[in-house]
Structure 1
Amino acid sequence: MLPTFTQFASTLGGFAPLLLSGIWVTLQLALLSLLLGLIFGLLGAGAKLSKVRGWRLCAQLYTTLIRGVPDLLLMLLIFYGVQTGLSRLTHELGWAYIEIDPFTAGVLTLGFIYGAYFTETFRGALLAVPRGQFQAAKALGMSFSQGFVHVIFPQMMRFALPGLGNNWMVLLKATALVSIIGLADLVKVAQVAGKSSQQLLAFLLLAALIYLLLSSASNAALGWLTRRYGASQQESSR
């Protein structure tokens, strides 16, 4: 049975600092995972489009593995698998025990997982850029890195933004998975507050509302970026 609004409001005041810390942890986790995922995505896209067969095979194996295994299972495998391997390594070398904290594990795991999805997004965006742009940058005397940063990347982002936006929305919600390994994110603190106050359903509904607000704000920001990139590309083509 849900409490009345007055009852829940009085209870919420005592747990407000805990909930705010959970929201902050969730945002940090999502943004750092996004940054790492973008790096993995760019590297993966470059490997998939490489002329070296070995790089293409590695990138194909990476994306196939990630898209074929559930995110929750990957989270548990990476967290416990890496920790077990690291413990054995430190034991063999006689080093002090090293423990991976849940936040670091969450960032590494989510970045690694969603890097596979960003790989496909960037690969498609790179293929959408006309080949003449690569040749034009080379003709202007630019190095490969200069041509990519100043010519290719801005055009690629126009094609990549819709896909990146969709993946970001999924990534933001996927941060809730990290609560399974003990990280005090929004979901975890909502569970703690709900169980402590015996108002679990009310706090879970509040957490769902907060995720909805974060997603709505992200959607508005992505829409603004899409319009801005589109306008800048139109101005540069005139």
Structure 2
Amino acid sequence: MAVDSFINWGLLALEPPGWGGVLLRGLLNSIQIAIGGYAFGLALGVCGAFGKLYGGPILRDLMECYTTIVRAVPELVLILLLYYAGTDALNHVLNLVGIGTVDISGLAAGIFVIGVVQGAYSTEVLRGAIKAVPAGQIEAARAYGMSPFKVMTRVTLPAMLPYAIPGLSNLWLIATKDTALLAVVGFSELTLVTRQAAGATKAYVLFFCAAGALYLALTLVSNVFIKIIERHSRRGFVEQA
């Protein structure tokens, strides 16, 4: 009873004057950015990993610079740099070619920023996973007459999944948390709307605990799917002695 009298639970109602619906919409925006950024980063990671392993000297050096810089600079600084400087640079290029400036949506910019950050880490995770694939499997595929593309899609990528999934799973959870950093550029994800709700009602403990519970719920649900994917990818996998 004492807790109920101290906390106004009505502030979490889904309809105004409650802020529950606003928090859920912020969570949905966070999930959209996390999924988009993670997928974009995974695509960059696949390209970066194969570039580092099988590319020429110039490509390997470029990939090395990319992963080193992104992993060295704090993510908040990268987000500010890519969000503001990247948008400004794109509009300058468009002006030079006579297209004119464009208004880039916060969702697209957020996906791009999170994706670039995720790509550097995905590159290293996938590179290590590919190197963990027994060389004999790849050599056997080549001896069978498979093209490099078929070797990659039918042997290398499926065989490296059990090694890559633990690291990629961590990156997904990191992506869901990195969306909170986009609050500094004004994107209405969960952290920003939580701060707005707390500022308007002065119920800081209530709303930030609610936001923490939503992030925790997202993590728990993600862990269920991660375990299913990991179990599926390891079917028929024989542990090396």
Fold agreement, TM-score > 0.5: yes
Partner of 2:63: 59
For the aligned residue pairs, the C-alpha RMSD in angstroms reads 2.2
Question: Among residues 108, 126, 132, which one is paired with 2:130 in the alignment?
Answer: 126
Q: What SS does the corresponding residue of 1:95 show, helix, strand or coil?
A: coil
Gap change, CA 1:5 and 1:216, over 3 Å in 2: farther
Number of aligned positions between the proteins: 235
Whether 1:10 and 2:14 are equivalent positions in the alignment is: no
Higher deviation after alignment, 80-89 or 30-39? 80-89
How big is the shift at 1:28? 0.8
Whether 1:165 and 2:169 are equivalent positions in the alignment is: yes
Gap change, CA 1:27 and 1:55, over 3 Å in 2: same
**Which amino acid in structure 1 is aligned with residue 101 of structure 2?**
Y
Partner of 1:204: 208
How big is the shift at 1:111? 0.6
Q: Is the contact made by 2:11 and 2:20 (CA closer than 8 Å) also made in structure 1?
A: no
Partner of 1:70: 74
Q: Is the contact made by 1:176 and 1:186 (CA closer than 8 Å) also made in structure 2?
A: yes
Partner of 1:26: 30
Residues 119-150 of structure 1, C-alpha deviations (whole Å, 9 max, x = no match):
01111111111112112222333222222212
Question: Among residues 179, 188, 191, which one is paired with 1:187 in the alignment?
Answer: 191
**Which amino acid in structure 2 is aligned with residue 68 of structure 1?**
A
**Which amino acid in structure 2 is aligned with residue 12 of structure 1?**
L
- More helix, by proportion: 1
Partner of 1:227: 231
TM-score of the aligned structures, taking structure 1 as reference length: 0.91
Partner of 1:40: 44
Higher deviation after alignment, 168-177 or 134-143? 134-143
Partner of 1:140: 144
| Paired-residue identity, % | 33
Gap change, CA 1:5 and 1:41, over 3 Å in 2: farther
Q: What SS does the corresponding residue of 1:27 show, helix, strand or coil?
A: helix
**Which amino acid in structure 1 is aligned with residue 164 of structure 2?**
A
Question: Among residues 214, 217, 223, which one is paired with 1:213 in the alignment?
Answer: 217
Q: Is the contact made by 1:3 and 1:199 (CA closer than 8 Å) also made in structure 2?
A: no
Whether 1:89 and 2:106 are equivalent positions in the alignment is: no
Gap change, CA 1:74 and 1:3, over 3 Å in 2: farther
**Which amino acid in structure 1 is aligned with residue 224 of structure 2?**
A
TM-score of the aligned structures, taking structure 2 as reference length: 0.90
How big is the shift at 1:16? 2.1
Unpaired segments of 5 or more residues in structure 1? Answer: none
Question: Among residues 150, 153, 158, which one is paired with 2:157 in the alignment?
Answer: 153
Q: What SS does the corresponding residue of 1:45 show, helix, strand or coil?
A: helix
Q: Is the contact made by 1:3 and 1:202 (CA closer than 8 Å) also made in structure 2?
A: no
The 2-side partners of 1:206 and 1:87 are apart by 39
How big is the shift at 1:7? 4.8
Residues 14-40 of structure 1, C-alpha deviations (whole Å, 9 max, x = no match):
222211211111111111111101101
The 1-side partners of 2:183 and 2:145 are apart by 51
